[in-house]
Structure 1
Amino acid sequence: MRVLVLGATGYIGSAVVEQLTRAGHEAIRLVKDAGRLGPGVPVRVGDLTDPASLRAAVTDDVDAVLHIAAPTGEEAVDAAAVAALLQRLRGTGRAFVYTSGVWVLGATGDAAADEEAATDPVGIVGYRPRIERQVLEAAEDDVRAVVIRPGIVYGNGGGIPGLMTDWAREHGTGRYVGAVDTRWPMVHVDDLAALYVLTLSRAEEGTLLHGVAHEAVPVAALAAAADLSAGGPGRAEPWPREPAGQVLGAPFAEALALNQVVSGRRAVDELGWRPERPHPLTELGRFEEEGHLRFEEGIPEGA
């Protein structure tokens, strides 16, 4: 398949492009500047703020579109971008996969929230449920429309756990926002990339999937593991939301304090997804030992 990938150079997108290529697909990267990538790399030039450029990028030889780019933060802009990308897919049966995140569920309580759970988004993702509906409704026009909600993404030194390791280095101890019993649903970036590839061949139109491999990881334990990864003794302390918000921004701090338990069982049962990467508490220590390079682009995608 020829797959147009938005966000192809980001944390999640680069892992997806790697696995698409390994599976025999051709990944076409949508970029703002074609000169950013080396010669011979398939690219299309476009921008989320320019719907005409997005429509032009979805040519007849594109078999599927993966929207993994971080949202702009403006609902009208993001809705217009999705509409433009969908326009040339309608009536064709081609796939369109949109990336949302588990933060649209809000605090879930102790019972694992599945894809049938009601949304209650925190402010940083307040309008995303409406974009999800816009995407899924395209299934009525013969688009194989799918929405993936990744959990908190980790692995290869990136994502929010990578930020937590930086905080531990800076402050001399692990830090976590929220109560001591806060839990996060999580997924390794490579397992998540495998889910995107499976979705292209196996997901039915109108499908909503939680990209979650670990339903409820204790955040205090994650902060302690980040401290170990930073060379500390494995300590962790709470970072109250107000001072955390002054550093990180109040909307991001609110999201980090969410206590969530989220099920990713549908992807396992319906698509045969088999997450196999190490648990996040193991990954932090393994990563530091192997000395991999870190890569981050602002606040990570997939939440």
Structure 2
Amino acid sequence: MSERLLHLGHEVVALVRPEAAEVVGAYEGRIGDLLDPRTLTAAVTPDIDAVIDVATPLGDQAADAAAIAALTAPLVGTGRGFVYTSGVWVLGATEDRTADEQSPVDAIEIVRYRPAIERQVLALADEAVRATVIRPGLIYGHGGGIPALLVDLARKFGAPRIVGDLGVRWPMVYIEDLAELYVRVVTNASAGTLWHGVAHPAVAVKDLAAAAGAVAGVTTEPVVWPVTEAADELGAPFAAALALDQSVSGAAARDQLGWRPDGPNPIVEMLDGSYR
């Protein structure tokens, strides 16, 4: 995302913890700590036109809410932009429907308070902040993300593993396509809007697991891993998230922002791309 913004002529300022201050590369670095709201407010100086929040949540609702308030306090009344990163897990299981941005939320445990933070962000539109929310699907590409975990699990257990059920589906997005969506949202989206960053609405996890097995050199068929057993290895909240069956649409960003995700299919990327 930063590279794309730079390519378009924008200046990028990285907000980093003190221990990372020397590794910001080509970007200007400013010190900020989510646990110290004063540092966040101080970093958002008048020359900052927009703030993009891609930080990992702290796991504490009050602390995360305080961090959002601190980051956005200098933006109030200015019309400057703020993009908050949420995720599709707030929608819960979608069953036989495909969820869009108007669908009700039913957040699972691992993101239980995230909808409240989304509401906090979107309410800033009433305070003259161009506040927006992006809910990415499960991210793949560059050899990382949850697909890499599937490869590791297949290698460790000698068989590809699917948490919960053979029918589980995941909404997914290629990392470079998601970066492009952030650029479009931060530059063009209206205040108070919510966007699903999903290029592939419902990818069969059994196909992903089979691909992960091939990458790991495991030839057996994917096996179901009961959530209770997966919880012992991965933790109960994360295991439940991996067992979540979802179909999620990202059509609004295509229709309204001109987003055109064109990255490789996730199965192809696993078999022939960066996971090799």
TM-score (norm 1): 0.88
Runs of 4+ in 1 over 3 A off after TM superposition: 38-41
Structure 1, residues 153-199: CA drift from partner, whole Å, max 9, x if none?
Answer: 11111000011111111112211111111101000111001100111
Aligned residue runs from structure 1 range 65-144, under 5 A:
65-144=51-130
Match of residue 6, structure 2, among 21, 26, 46: 21
Deviation at 1:26, TM superposition (A): 1.4
Q: In the alignment, which residue of structure 1 is the partner of 2:268?
A: 282
Q: How far, CA to CA, are the matches of 1:165 and 1:92 in structure 2?
A: 46
The aligned residue for residue 33 of structure 2 is 47
The answer (yes or no) to whether the contact 2:132–2:191 under 8 Å persists in 1 is yes
Distance 2:93 2:226 in 1: 17
- The SS at the match of 2:39 is helix
Alpha-carbon offset, residue 41 of structure 1: 3.4
Q: Which residue matches 1:4? A: none
Equivalent position SS for 1:26: coil
Task: Tell me, in whole angstroms, the C-alpha distance in 1 between the residues paired with 2:213 and 2:61.
Answer: 37
Match of 1:272 among 248, 258, 264: 258
Distance in 2 separating the partners of 1:106 and 1:85 = 28
TM superposition shift of 1:35: 3.6
1:272/1:76 Cα in 2 relative to 1: closer, same or farther (>3 Å)? Answer: same
Instruction: Percent identity, please.
Output: 54
The whole-number CA distance in structure 2 between the counterparts of 1:143 and 1:111 is: 33
Give 1:240's aligned amino acid: P
1:255 aligns with 2:249: no
> Residue in 1 aligned with 2:135?
149
Inter-partner Cα distance in structure 2 for 1:17 and 1:192:
12
Output the amino acid matched with 2:3.
E
- Find the residue that maps to 1:131 and give its secondary structure: helix
Deviation at 1:36, TM superposition (A): 3.4
RMSD across aligned positions (CA): 1.3
Relative distance call for 1:131 and 1:288 in structure 2 (3 A) is closer
Q: CA deviation at 1:38?
A: 5.7
**Superposed CA offset, 1:204-248 (max 9, x none):** 000000000000000111100111111223631111101100110
Selected match of 2:178 from 180, 184, 192: 192
**Aligned match of 2:17:** 32
- 2:47 aligned to 56, 61, 79, which one? 61
Query: Whole-Å Cα distance in 1 between the matches of residues 181 and 221 of structure 2?
Result: 34
Q: For residue 200 of structure 2, what is the amino acid of its counterpart? A: H
Q: Are residues 1:210 and 2:215 paired?
A: no
**Do the aligned partners of 1:67 and 1:99 also contact (CA within 8 Å) in 2?**
yes
TM-score, normalization: structure 2? 0.96
Q: Distance in 1 between matches of 2:261 and 2:26?
A: 32
- Counterpart of 1:207 in structure 2: which amino acid? T
Does residue 162 of structure 2 align to residue 176 of structure 1? yes
Query: SS where residue 276 of structure 1 aligns?
Result: coil
Distance (whole Å) between structure 2 residues aligned to residue 253 and residue 150 of structure 1: 19
Q: Secondary structure at the match of 2:95?
A: coil
Are the counterparts in 2 of residues 108 and 259 from structure 1 also a CA contact under 8 Å? yes
Aligned to 1:241: 227
- 2 CA distance for matches of 1:230 and 1:288? 13
Please tell me whether the aligned partners of residues 142 and 274 of structure 2 are also in contact (alpha carbons under 8 angstroms): no
Rate the CA distance shift 1:284–1:234 in 2: closer, same or farther, 3 A.
farther
Q: Which ranges in structure 1 are unaligned for 5 or more consecutive residues?
A: 1-15, 292-303
Change (3 A) 1:104 1:274: same
Q: Which ranges in structure 2 are unaligned for 5 or more consecutive residues?
A: none
